[in-house]
Amino acid sequence: MAKKSSVSKGIAAAFVILTVFALAGIVTMVILYKTQISTMNPTPRPTILPTTPGLPPVMRLPTNLIPQNYKVFLQPHLYTKIIEEVNVTSPNQTMLFTGNSTVDFHCVQKTSTIYLHSSDLAVSGPVVMDKDQNEVIHFSTMKYHDDGSNFLEIHLRDALDAGGNYSLFLAFKGEISQGLDGLFLSTYVEGHPAHEGDTNADRFLAATNFQPSDARRVFPCFDEPEMKAVFDVTIIHRRDNIALGNSGQSDSIILDEEWKYTRFHPTPRMSTYLFAFAVSEFESVSSAHERVDIKTFARPEAIALGHAQYAANITGKVLTFYEKHFGINYQQKKLDQIAMPDLAPSAMENWGLVTYEQGGLLFEEGVSSLLHKELIITLIAHELAHQWFGNLVTMKWWNEIWLNEGFATYMSYFAIDHVEPTFKMLEAFTLSDLRTAFEEDALETSHPLSPPEEDVQANYQSLMMFDAISYSKGAVVLRMLADTVDERVFNKGIKSYLADFSFKNTDQNDLWKYIQKAVDEDGGHTKVAKVMDTWTRQIGYPVITINTTTGDIYQKHFLFNDSSESSLWWYIPIRVKSSKSESTFVWLETSDTVKKDEFISKSGEWILANVNCTGYYRVNYNPENWQRLLTQLETNRFRIPLMNRGQLIDDAFNLARAKLVDVTLALNSTRFLRNETEYLPWESAVKNLQYFVLMFDRSEVYGPMQAYLREQVEGLYNFFRNETDNSQVPTDHSLQHNQITAIEVACSNGLPDCIAMATKMYAKWMNSDNSTNIIHPNLRSAIYCQAVAAGGKEEWEFAWDRFQSSSDTSEKDQLRRALACTKKIWLLNRYLEYTLNPEKIRLMDVASTIDYIAQNVAGQALAWNFIRAHWEYVRQGHAATLVEGVTSRFSTQFELDELERFAVQYELQSAGRAVDQAIEQTRVNIQWISENKEAVLEWFERETAS
């Protein structure tokens, strides 16, 4: 922890000047406290008890007090830069922040106790006022609950009456976090250090990240999403900084030679987790919009070089699209986006001040891959969708966070397609979310989209809800509902839902009612709640099995563990077509086997269900129909819709993992790829074959598998060869993706021409006099990785030197990934050790860096040992992702035993579910390998024998 500096005399001056505004409601903690009690006979300061005897009955706040408005004063004492000067004593950095808050609240049930949240704060000077009578209400004790609830409990001598209006003043101080939560420290280098050890280029900023429940770490508050209020905020900061908040600036006054304050307009009525501010030296670029003042903030150097320009160009367009699509204007006059050097999530939708990892917001011409624009617009579209779904209308509790995240993911599809139509990535994004949700939801340790509220109480349980189920399953289930009731009807219901619940909280029942109303008004017959509750209130999804000879169809809960018993069933909307007919719509509304004409192959034609993948279910067929479909793929693949070409592969491989079809059928589904150049089928095959790689790259199966993949990918590699060899890329975005797929599959499976190309290009870069990089930005990540994998110490250290010296976020990300590709154990061990040093690898990048190393067969065991040895540090990042990545190869009893010990011996918190799922998946892997290894080996040997 950095040293704390003494409080500047400027602070005293700040308090004096702010006293002028006391009559208008802007006061400091000292002036307010003295003003309110000066004419009274206050009780002596109570003894503050450190703990409360026994647990409260629940982890949730009582609902007898409803917050209305907060007045918050905050002063981070941080220096954003410390310049060393000759013969001048430089100040020590300080992590202290101080402040006070006054919350106005309404009492709905008589009580003599106030409960609110406070964590890691020194709270003092409570003053409770009866606003109706303008009287102080004396209190007796103040307790901190040290039980995970973070309750601050204030006992009053007199009760608060139902119907009364009251206020609570509290002063507080705390430490700026050097993690990535609450009010946290972020660092970067501006320009280039003059010499090694020069700290004058170091810059510091303070910013917030509160979701789900870290507002309580910065000021005492009613820190639950349903406790919405208006926030009137003043930030006291050093004069050479700027302060940003949720709302626009209303006033800024210089206090002395060191300090100034910035006051913001009151926010809309919102939840505490959306409260945000930042203090920095950042600069901005503006976006065009007819009503809203939009600015994108970043490091001054990044702004000057135009790295924020792409984000600025599209943000106004995305916002305008949503305003028209929802029929509701964005509710503030300003929207700031800020590219953070450090941030725990990829982005956070704070109302009016959206934060992003800088790599997700900045595009560097000539350095960033052209495909990086897809990531930028995806993040912006997701976060801006939250300004309606999450900010304007908020779920009541964290057990239904999918109402925020699922909607934001689903709506972003349309914004991206509207703003960047040439990307043509709507189908790819949809399939990606479908496959992501399928993978996690095929385990018994999954969870419903809407679990019971009582299952999500503690903070770590709320954090665990931010997963693929809430995001990806939420999105694809909404897509299925829109397809079922008609997108036009769905959108009508959504518009009414948003309009009627603006500034309020909802649960999924409210959503169903509004879509049902739209269905009824349109003359439809779908019973929305009855259908959708089967998809949101129970885990998993079905596989439907169709016999095209008899027309029989039945459903079963799809699980990787075939020994699991489940009686769950769903109302399933099915779009089905044949080689001789167009798509029709049918329902499966029972757990029994039924016959339907639509599924009968009357004259040998193939039947295809789940056309365009609108449903959240897998499809299995009788062997004859599978063979007809695979034959169609090999003879004229274009007769099967593009999305289904990808999904047929995905279904076949996962049905084989669940032992519902023979593994050779899944492998047969990849034969047609020899002539395929479209991205979606290749992407689906590569993702599914990755499971085979993970299971078999430590065994004798891997050699024949690589030989088969070399043969399959050679045509695709040659399709792009002229462009690749000349460091050029296609204009079509999906083909740009597939060019990278071709390089990665060809090189990683030992295609000599690919390895020669990668090592030659990398060597040219290494040997150029001025380090001119001729490798096209799209291709750098793939080529860097393959060249480092094929090379040794020299190639690795060249990449590390470039990583350390580069200020380009895109280049650093590509190099950081490539450094994990080496096959040298000692270099991977060195790289793992670097993750413990935040000056080498930022804390927010630790989990992904270790994950990259674990993806390397040479690094997997190293990474597993490493995270256990350093769990307390590495889990500060994305702990669940870390566990999932490091354990993805686990397929032996020894690895299972180690994983089970890990689950018992380590404090897992938000990684708990990920560990449970890893244990379940490892058991499945062990059994699957024992039953399929011989057949897989024989198949690959047979296919490559000629």
How far apart (Å, rounded) are the C-alpha atoms in residues 457 and 461?
A: 6
Which DSSP helix (H) or strand (E) runs through 711?
A: helix 702-719
42 contacts: CB under 8 Å, gap ≥ 6: 136, 138
Whether 521 is a known active-site residue: answer no
Pick left, alpha or beta for residue 472 (phi over 0 → left; psi -120 to 50 → alpha; otherwise beta): alpha
Which DSSP helix (H) or strand (E) runs through 338?
A: strand 334-340
869 contacts: CB under 8 Å, gap ≥ 6: none
How far apart (Å, rounded) are the C-alpha atoms in residues 267 and 269?
A: 6
How far apart (Å, rounded) are the C-alpha atoms in residues 278 and 809?
A: 21
Helix (H, G, I), strand (E, B) or coil at 443: coil
Which DSSP helix (H) or strand (E) runs through 403?
A: helix 402-419
How far apart (Å, rounded) are the C-alpha atoms in residues 733 and 736?
A: 5
Nearest to 751 by CA among 764, 762, 741: 741
At 161, list the tokens. 């009456």
For strand 249-254 and strand 259-264, is the pairing parallel, antiparallel, or unpaired? Answer: antiparallel
- Within a 10 A sphere around the Cβ of 610, how many other Cβ atoms? 23
Q: Which of 224, 383, 420, 943 is flagged as catalytic?
A: 383
Contact 472, 434 (CB under 8 A): yes
Strand order in the sheet with 202-209: 182-189, 202-209, 277-280, 242-245
Contact 599, 553 (CB under 8 A): yes
Dihedral sign computed on CA atoms, order 857, 858, 861, 864: negative
- The H helix count followed by the E strand count for the chain is 31, 30
Eight-state DSSP code of residue 167: E
Contact 387, 349 (CB under 8 A): yes
How far apart (Å, rounded) are the C-alpha atoms in residues 517 and 732?
A: 42
Question: For the residues of 485-541, what is the DSSP string, one character each?
Answer: H-HHHHHHHHHHHHHHTTTEEE-HHHHHHHHHHHHHHTT----HHHHHHHHHSSS--
Nearest to 385 by CA among 330, 449, 426, 423: 330
Place of tokens 């083909």: 735
Place of tokens 């305008």: 320
At 163, list the tokens. 């119907």
The catalytic site residues sit at 383
